[in-house]
Amino acid sequence: MKGKRLYLLITSLDKTEHRQLINLCKNTKDKRIELLTRLLLKKISSEKIFLNILDDVQLSFNNNELESDKKLRRYVDYSCKQIESVLLFNELENNKFVRTKNLAKIFDKKNQDELTKYYNDSTINIAKESSINSGIEVHYDIKMRWLARNQFKQDIIDLKNTLHAKKIIINEHYHEEMTSYYNVLSGLFLDNPKDILVKNQIPKYDTIKSLQKSTSDEFNKLLYGIALARFNFFNKNKLFQSIELLLKDNARSNLSSDNKDKISRSILFLKNTAGLYYGQPINKMIDDAKYIFNIMINYQYYDSISFFFLVFFHLIDEDFYQADILLKKYSTAFFKGKKNEYYLFLQAFKNFQLGFFDNALTELPQLAYSSSQYLAIWSRLLEIKIHQILKNDLLLNSLINRANRYVLNNKEKNILSEPCLYVLKNIENKKNIIKNNNSLFKFYELILAK
- Under 8 Å CB-to-CB from 66, ≥6 apart: which residues? none
Contact 83, 69 (CB under 8 A): no
> Residue 242 is which amino acid?
S
Q: Which of the residues in the chain have pLDDT under 50?
A: 434, 436-437
- Is-above-0.95 flag for pTM? no
- pLDDT at 111 (0 to 100): 86
Q: Are 346 and 327 in contact (CB under 8 A)?
A: yes
Per-residue pLDDT, 6: 95
Give the span between the Cα atoms of 21 and 83, in whole angstroms.
7
Check residue 255 and give its pLDDT: 94
CA 241 – CA 39 distance, rounded (Å): 55
Q: Please tell me the distance from the alpha carbon of residue 186 to that of residue 148, in angstroms, as a whole number.
A: 44
Burial of 398: CB neighbours in 10 Å, binned 0-12, 13-18, 19+: exposed
> What is the spatial distance between Cα 359 and Cα 145, in angstroms, rounded to a whole number?
71
Over its C-alpha atoms, the chain yields an Rg (Å, rounded) of 28
From 315, 222, 309, 218, select the one nearest 269 (Cα to Cα).
Answer: 309
Secondary structure class of 197 (helix, strand, coil): helix
Tell me the residue type at 137. Answer: E
CA–CA separation, 243 and 284 (whole Å): 14
Q: Which long-range contacts (CB under 8 A, 24 or more apart) does 210-217 make?
A: 211/175, 211/178, 214/175, 215/171, 215/172, 215/175, 217/131, 217/172, 217/175
* Cβ-based burial of 265 (10 A; exposed 0-12, middle 13-18, buried ≥19): buried
CA angle 359, 361, 365 (to 5 degrees): 140
Distance between CA atoms of 332 and 329, rounded to whole angstroms? 8
Burial 267-283 (b: 16+ CB within 10 A, else e): bbbbbbbbbbbbbbebe
Residues 377, 403 contacting (CB under 8 angstroms) = yes
State residue 173's pLDDT score. Answer: 83
Q: What count of other Cβ atoms lies within 10 Å of the Cβ of residue 368?
A: 20
- Among 449, 444, 386, 445, which residue's Cα sits nearest to residue 416? 444
pLDDT of the residue at 296: 95
What's the length of the chain?
450
**Confidence (pLDDT) at 349:** 97
Q: Report the b/e string of 414-448 with b at 16+ CB within 10 A.
A: bbbbebbebbbebbeeeeebeeeeeebbbbbbebb
Grouping H, G, I as helix, E, B as strand and the rest as coil, residue 213 is helix
Give residue-wise pLDDT tens across range 310-364. Answer: 999 999 999 999 999 999 999 999 998 888 999 999 999 999 999 999 999 998 9
In the prediction, which pLDDT does 130 show?
78
| Residue 408 buriedness (CB in 10 A; 0-12 / 13-18 / 19+) | exposed
What pLDDT is recorded for position 293? 97
| pLDDT at site 114 | 86
Neighbours of 152 (CB within 10 A): 9
pLDDT of res. 431:
57
Residue 61 burial (10 A CB sphere; 0-12, 13-18, 19+): middle
